[in-house]
Amino acid sequence: MKKLCILIMLLFLCGCNSTPKRDDYVRYIHNQNIAIDESDFKFTLSSPNEFDIRGVYDRDSSITNPDILYAGDTGLAGLLVQVAAHAATSSTIQTNKLAGLQSEANEKVSEFITLTNGFKNKDFIKGLETAYTEDLSESPVTIKPIFFVSQNMDQVSVKAQVWISETRKNKTTFKYKNLIAVTSKKITETQRNEVFQAGSDELKKVFTNLLTGVIELVKSEVTLKFKNNNTPILSHIVYVNGEEKLIRGKVVEQDCQSTTYQNLRKWLLKFANESLREAPAHCKKQQQLVL
């Protein structure tokens, strides 16, 4: 009876708050015990000949659900069917809403997206070809990037699912899985106009820098560079996509150009220092010396 009550409660919660899966969300897995040697690091692209770019939209996918009254005269089986049906309906509504929001966001930045026609992910690994492989027997890190443009077209970013998988007895498991995001500096109106005038060649440099940032970070993680990082978890404010964003996590890498955080989900998030509310203290001192 106790197990039955728990099952009913779980189904009820699913019915009340069913959320569709997003392809820019990852549950962190890291079962690596031995670091990969830097010289042995290999990566591959999940879709080397494709290029996925989207406009940024409000991530609040919640919908207002009316109070649901379940018919009590249908018995336990009937109740379970009602809850499951409500969960499916709620998920479908949210999925449709997200698709609509994404379509609107893409339309607002269509001028920018048009410039990327013909782009391929493999165009943006220049200088890293020796570490690239399509031979999965080498156990490379697989990278699946999605690029984003802010609504004001003043910032671009990449979010990438990254993973190392292995197959045993026809079953695929993950030794490592994470999400890595790299956000560009803010693009001024003058710079944006220059990009539009110069065309796709100038834009390729931006995406190369973003994807290179992802590859460098995943390399640092699988070589266990961040394993013994004891930096305290704090609250950090960054400017991204036209608004300030709170990140709860710790700094794992920082210089006078950029800062990388590991948030509470273990995702790695890299930002240009100009996007930070507070620049690194040692960089402030250097600026003062220059002045």
Please report which helix (H) or strand (E) contains residue 253, including its range: strand 243-254
3-state secondary structure of 63: coil
Check: CB of residue 260 under 8 Å from CB of residue 254: yes
pLDDT the model gives residue 191: 85
| Helix 2-16 × helix 75-108 angle, to 10° | 30
Helices (H), 155-260: 189-198, 200-222
Three-state secondary structure call for residue 271: strand
The C-alpha atoms of residue 230 and residue 281 are separated, in whole angstroms, by 19
| Residues 175, 183: Cα–Cα separation, whole Å | 27
Nearest-angstrom CA–CA distance, 218 and 158 = 13
Tokens of 41: 């690091």
Q: What distance in Å separates the CA atoms of residue 70 and residue 79, rounded to the nearest whole number? A: 7
From CA 121, how far away is CA 144, in angstroms rounded?
A: 9
pTM of the model: 0.80
Each residue's pLDDT, cut to its tens digit, for the chain (291 residues) gives: 555 555 555 554 555 554 455 677 899 999 988 899 999 999 999 999 999 999 998 665 444 444 555 555 666 666 555 555 545 555 676 667 777 888 899 999 999 999 999 999 999 999 999 999 999 889 999 999 999 999 989 999 999 999 999 888 888 899 999 999 999 998 888 888 888 887 778 889 999 999 999 999 999 999 999 988 999 999 999 988 878 999 999 999 999 999 999 999 999 999 999 999 887 877 865 544 333
The Cα 8–Cα 82 span in angstroms is: 11
